[in-house]
């Protein structure tokens, strides 16, 4: 297999540093894009795309639906829309009378939206296509009968024989029932609370009162506000073609207004700026002390210098390249995350580690600039070695195997054998004064230790005589 690097003075960048560097770059581009979108894009740019007309149509639709709380400013312009948030009791959290119990208000809004707005309003779909492909007029489909049976679980009126027996005309929980007029069930009328439920609600001393009100409210909006009759009918109203098409248009305009800033900024930041630096760095790489070299460990050549930042830009661009709509609001972000993960995961596959997919495709590698030494080419490296022949690379340049071998050699060198001990003894005898040795050192390079031994022997012999 081809060797990745010929220059052993470089150290591959760690994935932690690379990740932080990328997050710095992406964060700067994203935040700058959001600032421009909020100050310019969501105003003049989107207005030029007809955003005001679209917003007015969406809010006007919501206002007619009975389902949303739509507010206007003093000039009569739409400001916001939100779902209703009624509490179980009659008073809201601020102590104000909300006009009825929570279940009453949700029931009325849901019933009117279903049997009036969806059934008769020209802004809604005029036909409902059933599962078998049959088309039914909306006025015939969205009826009080269907609302009571499908959403409140009331029994089929055609199977009720005794309408005077409340237990036979209410739901399984005994909270709601059909309205009876002149001894017959009126399916066009809005269902009402059962007498047994009302008895508990009207008894302020009842220990079950609060629990009953909460349970009846939860039929329309459950505790996490993600389900219930009211929530289901809201979703049904928002799925009508009139609203859905305009909302998709608004999403597209929002994407275009953001993409017009995000994509050029990403192009400049991830492609143009690296081309301006000889080592292909972005600001994030510079902050983290990283650089880009060719896979052989030498300085960037034109092909790697162009290809690597361009591939990075393509990955980043996917975060804003796909227009938004109701079905794919997050597809762009998901694609970006998938590509980014694949790019990094490739670095853990095969023998050529520490190189991502973009590194391999561009023939480059990202290195730790502070711990690496790299050259323009092999010839430049050889010239450098001629003048720095005694320079040893930092420990960071050694592989783990090299570090282990160096430690073994150092350990062996520290073991003193007999010849070494004898040598040290003779060096010590050559010292005339320990103070002089500490102060100036003693040069024993010219001392003939053998002759010194002879003189010492003669001296000892004379002293013996």
User: Two tokens at 60?
Assistant: 């006007």
With the C-alpha atoms ordered 352, 358, 364, 366, is the resulting torsion angle positive or negative?
negative
- Give the whole-angstrom CA distance, residue 447 versus residue 426: 10
Could you count the other beta carbons within 10 Å of the beta carbon of residue 357? Answer: 17
For residues 331 and 211, the model is more confident at 211
Q: Which of the residue ranges 160-174, 392-406, 421-435 would you say has the lowest mean pLDDT?
A: 392-406
**Looking at the predicted structure, is the pLDDT value of residue 392 above 50?**
no
Kindly indicate the confidence band of residue 395, based on its pLDDT and cuts at 50, 70 and 90.
very low
Beta strands 364-368 and 127-129, pairing class: unpaired
pLDDT of the residue at 114: 97
pLDDT of the residue at 448: 52
User: Two tokens at 405?
Assistant: 């071998």
pLDDT of the residue at 406: 57
- Give the whole-angstrom CA distance, residue 143 versus residue 190: 10
With the C-alpha atoms ordered 428, 431, 434, 439, is the resulting torsion angle positive or negative?
negative
Could you count the other beta carbons within 10 Å of the beta carbon of residue 82? Answer: 10
Tell me what percent of the residues of the chain surpass a pLDDT of 90: 49
Q: Which of the residue ranges 38-42, 94-98, 337-341, 400-404 would you say has the lowest mean pLDDT?
A: 400-404
Pick the closest to residue 315 from 8, 16, 29 (CA basis).
29
Q: List the beta bridge partners of residue 170.
A: 177
When computed from its CA atoms, the radius of gyration of the chain, rounded to whole angstroms, is 41
- Give the whole-angstrom CA distance, residue 343 versus residue 308: 12
Q: Domains of the chain: which residue ranges?
A: 1-65+240-409, 66-120+125-239, 418-464
| Mean pLDDT in residue range 312-340 | 82
What is each CA distance from 373 to 7, 65, 268, 293, 406, in whole angstroms? 9, 69, 28, 11, 21
The 3-state DSSP class for residue 12 equals strand
pLDDT of the residue at 1: 39
Kindly indicate the confidence band of residue 8, based on its pLDDT and cuts at 50, 70 and 90.
confident
- Give the whole-angstrom CA distance, residue 408 versus residue 282: 41
pLDDT of the residue at 320: 82
Chain-wide mean pLDDT for the chain?
83
Chain mean position to CA 321? 17
User: Two tokens at 345?
Assistant: 């995961």
Helix runs in 268-301, H state only: 273-276, 283-287
pLDDT of the residue at 275: 95
Write phi, then psi, for 71 (nearest 5 degrees).
Answer: -115, 155
Q: Which of the residue ranges 133-142, 279-288, 327-336 would you say has the lowest mean pLDDT?
A: 327-336
252-309 pLDDT, tens digit per residue, is: 888 888 888 999 999 999 999 999 999 999 999 999 999 999 998 899 999 999 999 9
User: Two tokens at 462?
Assistant: 């004379």
Pick the closest to residue 158 from 179, 184, 140 (CA basis).
184
- In 163-267, DSSP assigns E strands to 176-177, 179-181, 184-186, 192-193
**Looking at the predicted structure, is the pLDDT value of residue 101 above 60?**
yes
Contact 243, 61 (CB under 8 A): yes
209-246 pLDDT, tens digit per residue, is: 999 999 999 999 987 767 899 999 999 999 999 999 99
Chain mean position to CA 53? 33
For residues 322 and 149, the model is more confident at 149
With the C-alpha atoms ordered 125, 130, 134, 137, is the resulting torsion angle positive or negative?
negative
Contact 253, 49 (CB under 8 A): yes
Query: What is the distance in angstroms between the CA of the first residue and the CA of the last residue of the chain?
Result: 80
Kindly indicate the confidence band of residue 397, based on its pLDDT and cuts at 50, 70 and 90.
very low
Helices then strands, counting H and E runs in the chain, come out as: 21, 10
Task: Spell out the residues 6+ positions from residue 18 whose beta carbon is closer than 8 angstroms to its own.
Answer: 288, 290, 366
| Mean pLDDT in residue range 156-180 | 89
Which residue is it, tokens 């008769």?
120
Q: Which of the residue ranges 133-137, 259-263, 397-401 would you say has the lowest mean pLDDT?
A: 397-401
Which residue is it, tokens 């031994």?
453
Pick the closest to residue 298 from 278, 272, 277 (CA basis).
278
């Amino acid at each position: 297999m081809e060797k990745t690097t010929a220059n052993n003075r470089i150290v591959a960048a760690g994935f932690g540093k690379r990740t932080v560097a990328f997050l710095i770059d992406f964060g700067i581009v994203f935040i700058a894009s959001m600032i421009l979108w909020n100050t310019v894009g969501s105003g003049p740019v989107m207005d030029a795309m007809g955003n005001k007309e679209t917003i007015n149509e969406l809010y006007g639709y919501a206002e007619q639906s009975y389902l949303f709380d739509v507010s206007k400013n003093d000039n009569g312009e739409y400001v916001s829309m939100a779902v209703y948030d009624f509490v179980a009791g009659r008073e809201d959290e601020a102590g104000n009378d909300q006009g009825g119990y929570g279940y009453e208000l949700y029931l009325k809004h849901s019933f009117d939206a279903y049997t009036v707005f969806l059934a008769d309003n020209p802004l809604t779909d005029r036909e409902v296509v059933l599962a078998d492909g049959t088309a039914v007029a909306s006025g015939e489909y969205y009826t009080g009968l269907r609302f009571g049976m499908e959403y409140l679980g009331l029994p089929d009126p055609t199977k009720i024989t005794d309408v005077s027996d409340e237990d036979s005309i209410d739901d399984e929980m005994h909270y709601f029932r059909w309205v009876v007029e002149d001894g017959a069930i009126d399916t066009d009328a809005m269902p009402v609370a059962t007498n047994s439920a009302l008895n508990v609600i009207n008894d302020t001393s009842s220990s079950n009162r609060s629990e009953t009100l909460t349970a009846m409210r939860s039929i329309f909006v459950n505790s996490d506000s993600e389900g219930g009759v009211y929530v289901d009918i809201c979703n049904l109203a928002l799925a009508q073609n009139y609203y859905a098409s305009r909302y998709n248009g608004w999403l597209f305009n929002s994407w275009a207004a953001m993409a017009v800033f995000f994509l050029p900024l990403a192009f400049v930041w991830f492609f143009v700026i690296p081309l301006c630096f000889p080592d292909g760095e972005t600001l994030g790489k510079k902050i983290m002390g990283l650089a880009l070299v060719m896979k052989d460990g030498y300085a960037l050549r034109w092909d790697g210098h162009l290809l690597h930042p361009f591939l990075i830009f393509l990955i980043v661009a996917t975060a804003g390249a796909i227009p938004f709509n109701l079905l794919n609001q997050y597809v762009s972000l998901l694609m970006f995350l998938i590509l980014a993960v694949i790019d990094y995961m490739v670095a853990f596959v095969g023998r050529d580690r520490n190189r991502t997919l973009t590194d391999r495709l561009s023939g480059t590698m990202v290195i730790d600039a502070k711990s690496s030494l790299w050259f323009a080419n092999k010839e430049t490296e050889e010239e450098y070695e001629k003048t720095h022949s005694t320079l040893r690379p930092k420990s960071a340049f050694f592989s783990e195997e090299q570090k282990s071998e160096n430690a073994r050699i150092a350990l062996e060198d520290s073991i003193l054998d007999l010849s070494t001990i004898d040598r040290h003894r003779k060096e010590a005898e050559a010292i005339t004064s320990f103070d002089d040795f500490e102060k100036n050192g003693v040069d024993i390079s010219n001392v003939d230790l053998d002759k010194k031994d002879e003189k010492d022997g003669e001296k000892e012999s004379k002293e013996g005589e």
